[in-house]
Structure 1
Amino acid sequence: MSVPPRADCTADASGGLVFHVSGGPAARTGERAELVLLRRGADPADRGVRLPLHPAADGRLNAELTLGTELPEGRWDVHVALARDGAAESGQAGPVRLLPGVNDLRALVDRVPEPGGGPVAVRVPYPTKHGNLSLRSWLRAAHAEAGDLGIDATAVTVHGELYGVADPAAALAGAVAEARLRDRAEVVTVPVTADGARFTFTLDHQRLADGWRGGTEVWDLWLCPASGEPARVARLLDDVADRKPVFVYPARRVTAPHGPAQAGPYYTADNDLSVRVEPAG
């Protein structure tokens, strides 16, 4: 009985990952092993992203996923496959899903992207609820990294830093923050204070509750420079693939026309920062 393949993952300070694969099918003469990343929801005919696996001194096979490897934003399932050089793919066994091993992601904690313009790429491996290895990828042209959140009885104050632009201090001069209501074209705008690439803004819960129509309403937070594209406020630069169930913040009661309500920040399934207004619990 073959050993189910699994992979340990090691991150480096640049945000790159090395997969250390053990177990799985053995390559025969003329075959090569590949790490295969398949994006969820993609066309079944999509071959995904394929990385060569190379023998390491410890007997495992290693594959390197650098930040230079194009990986669109989304969730990617990680497999191992064998391919025969010069032969049709249809003649090969399909990719085998990898089990998660030990992740050393310490280098991702409080990671600082390279200065200057250019997209901010983040990749975080994680175990799925079914016990398989997957990878969460983010790719933002400009990125507003959320830091500390200050929550009091009436408002949430967001501290953060702008990345992915050539001159963040110039981009933040005259910037504003916007709370955009999902499903309806409503926007609440607040001023931003800045110090270099660092920014701060305060959003009054009451302003979001004034037009509350009952049920749950979600306001997505954006940082809008005076020039250039808006950046979604999110917390991406660490080793947490899914913040939503882990980072839970208190909701505060607000006065609303449709009855008792409460408002508070939360991280979405994509680690973006939003504020939810809903009936008071």
Structure 2
Amino acid sequence: MKITYIVETVSRTDETIRPVLHLANTLATSHDVRIASVFDRRGEATPDVSSQIAILPLSETVLQTDDPVNEWSRQPSELIPPDEPSYRHFTRVDDEHVRRFLTRCDSDVIIGTSPGLNLCVARLAPERAAKVALERRPYDETPAGVRDGMRAHYGRIDAVVTHTEADAAARREALEHPGLLTLAIPNAVPATSFPPSHTDSRIVMASGQLSDANRYDVLIRSYARIAASFPDWQLRIHGAGPLRRDLLRLISELGLHNHVFLMGRTDPMHAEWAKASIAVSTSQRDPFGLSLVQAMRAGLPVIATDCPAAPGEIIRHGVDGYLVPLHDIEAISRALTVCMGSPAQRKSVGASAYATSRRFDPERIKDQYQDLFAKITAGRRTSIARLAKFTQSLIDPRQTGTVPAFNPPLPQAGSTTCTVGADGTITIRPALSHRGQAVYLRSRRRDTPRETSWLRFPCRPIPGSPRALPPAAAIGPVDIFRLGEGRWDLFTDNGHGSRIRLTADAIDSRGALQAALRHHHGEVTHAVPYATEDGHLAIRSWRRLHHVEVTGIDYQRTAIVVHGRYIGEWGETSAPDLVLQRRQQPRTTLVVQDVTSHEQSFHCRIPVDELMHRRILREENWDLFLRDEKTNCNSRIGRLLDDSPNRKLTHRFPELVVEEPGAVDLFHYSEDAPRVAVRPYYTADNDLSMVVTELE
């Protein structure tokens, strides 16, 4: 069967289009699948699309017309309704590309993937083709002009597919076209190549845009109620959005800077879910439920607000997750307390969630679509009730049976995987397409000797791995010692004498979370793989004879208190000195003796007035050390021993604002006492520093 999707773009994917591509990739194993893209151009990267699928860039179609094309490019679309969000991207030129393609399309099935393109399929696709409209936005959130278009033209559509039964019911009531099938088929979410979570990491995780819809303010306030009862747990929120600054302010106001972290946008999320023990969603509307399913595929118990649409159709309360009332801070806190306080409960509910998640496997979703296509193309019109019952029988969670064993899918030909083991060993499996015989690490440090600026690690079969998996390179604890302190870029050979930079396709760094448990005595070594901004694989490594690991920061009225523990070859000392060094010229050292130690733990009090008395610039940076009185060695204070390669991006501390009476500023003199802000922060190397800033 020849199947064609028409999409706006495949080179810039998000949570709405990626499940469509997962399904297309699965259908391509049995059918001739093509994707017609309105805005992509030939040669653009399409990492989420299988090599079996042909990409048809409509923007490169040559138009035969008497009108100047450059005039069309300035004219608005006549096919896309003006209140459709993507309308501003379409011009009359795009209309003609879409019109030319659809009217000549010879596929058996044509699938639209957005409301505007669905209307184009309804109006322009040949009558002989089966026409399917994928609706990813709930009907009650669809603009009025688009709904008018649906009522006018969906009579020529054969089937409308939504993600939830609630939305399908709303569309059946609103779109009364004879013979139109309207049914719910959930998103296709593939299994990952990583084992599911062990639910023992003491991390609660959420993912989604930092916007009003996800109500992370409710989540943070809920977590504030229980943070003191679970001091060694943390809440990580992945996502970017307009409310980041407001949420950071709320975290500071509630004193959660040691417990709640905004991790930024992370894509893909599957390796992050595997690090967590609990997933939580406080969305007030979730039409897709994609993050919930991703978390369940990682074996996590899910706590979700029972908002309209997806959560209630995905989660069975008390079995594979928990549903709580919308905006109910107390109920969310209670559910978190149950999960965080009971390892056995987490494991049991997480195992059920992992079993339930099989109903979202692309092969199962593919079967439902194939049945739908067969019914349409054969000219059979099944009643809505009968078809809905048939679909539900395929996805009923009660038919999932026992918890399945983990059988990881084989990596794709173009996929490079990287994992961190419990002992810190980093295993790198280059993509099959590279056919590399080794992995090479190149140091970014300019002072690295030539003989150690490149390190070679041969690829060998890993014991216990399936035969179909390619060989992998292992960087063990002894090798990490050789890496020293710095950043390394990773390459492989292509079999023809040249080296290729490895991409960061899949990184499972959960083993790095156990680094603090591995280090008690001896020299400290640690390494974390990560993705660079341009998507390549790199490693950040540390090696220190002495190390001071930060465990928390507290605030007093005129002081900042740092808590931590000693790691490495420390002398028999009970009270080391705290040393602060100004980074700017003129260099100055401040020694503070207010350090209290108990066994391997310590806390030190940094008096803010001491920093203010020494301030001569409007902004100064001070680096923090502990000095061992026996060896007279300064050890940098920082937080290295987990999975973060750059804590500066994710950990933000509040500032302590004080007045500076009698201060003399090199830039100006004023009788009014200037207000000064002192804020701890982590550097790009995960070391702790202070910034002292005069406020306007």
Structure 1 position 142, deviation (Å): 0.8
Q: Distance in 2 between matches of 1:253 and 1:106?
A: 37
Q: Can you list the C-alpha shifts for 1:119-140, whole angstroms capped at 9, x where unaligned?
A: 2111011111111111101111
Q: Can you list the C-alpha shifts for 1:56-96, whole angstroms capped at 9, x where unaligned?
A: 5242221111110110211100111257xxxxxxxx52211
| Higher share in strand | 1
Q: Distance in 1 between matches of 2:507 and 2:675?
A: 45
Q: Distance in 2 between matches of 1:274 and 1:136?
A: 19
Q: Distance in 1 between matches of 2:535 and 2:607?
A: 41
The match for 2:470 among 42, 57, 60 is 60
In the TM superposition, what are the counterparts of 1:89-238 in structure 2 within 5 Å?
93-111=497-515, 112-117=517-522, 119-165=523-569, 168=570, 171-183=572-584, 184-228=587-631, 229-238=633-642
Give 1:74's aligned residue: 486
Q: What is the one-letter code of the residue matched to 1:100?
A: A
Based on CA coordinates, which of the two structures has the bigger radius of gyration? 2
Q: Distance in 2 between matches of 1:4 and 1:37?
A: 22
Could you list the runs of 4 or more consecutive aligned residues of structure 1 that deviate by over 4 angstroms after TM superposition?
A: 2-6, 43-47
CA contact (8 A) 2:574 2:598 kept: no
TM-score by length of 1: 0.85
- Aligned-pair identity (%): 29
CA contact (8 A) 2:501 2:536 kept: yes
Structure 1 position 279, deviation (Å): 2.1
CA contact (8 A) 2:494 2:500 kept: no
RMSD: 2.4
Structure 1 position 110, deviation (Å): 4.7
Q: Distance in 1 between matches of 2:532 and 2:658?
A: 37
Q: Can you list the C-alpha shifts for 1:138-180, whole angstroms capped at 9, x where unaligned?
A: 1111111111111233221111111111xx5x53313111111
Give 1:280's aligned residue: 695
Q: Distance in 2 between matches of 1:40 and 1:216?
A: 29
Structure 1 position 194, deviation (Å): 1.0
CA contact (8 A) 2:415 2:506 kept: no
Aligned residues: 264
CA contact (8 A) 1:235 1:273 kept: yes
Classify the secondary structure of the residue corresponding to 2:478. coil
Give 1:22's aligned residue: 431
Q: For the structure 1 residues 163 and 280, does the alpha-carbon distance in structure 2 shift closer, same or farther, using more than 3 Å as the test?
A: same
Unaligned stretches of 5+ residues in structure 1: 28-32, 84-91
Q: Distance in 1 between matches of 2:627 and 2:591?
A: 12
CA contact (8 A) 2:627 2:635 kept: yes
Which structure would you say has the larger RCO, counting Cα contacts within 8 Å and 6 or more residues apart? 1
Unaligned stretches of 5+ residues in structure 2: 1-50, 52-411, 666-673
Structure 1 position 197, deviation (Å): 0.9
Structure 1 position 115, deviation (Å): 3.5
CA contact (8 A) 2:577 2:595 kept: yes
Q: What is the one-letter code of the residue matched to 2:619?
A: T
Q: Distance in 2 between matches of 1:44 and 1:201?
A: 38
TM-score by length of 2: 0.36
Q: Can you list the C-alpha shifts for 1:183-207, whole angstroms capped at 9, x where unaligned?
A: 3133232321111111111101221
| Higher share in helix | 2
Q: Distance in 2 between matches of 1:205 and 1:104?
A: 41
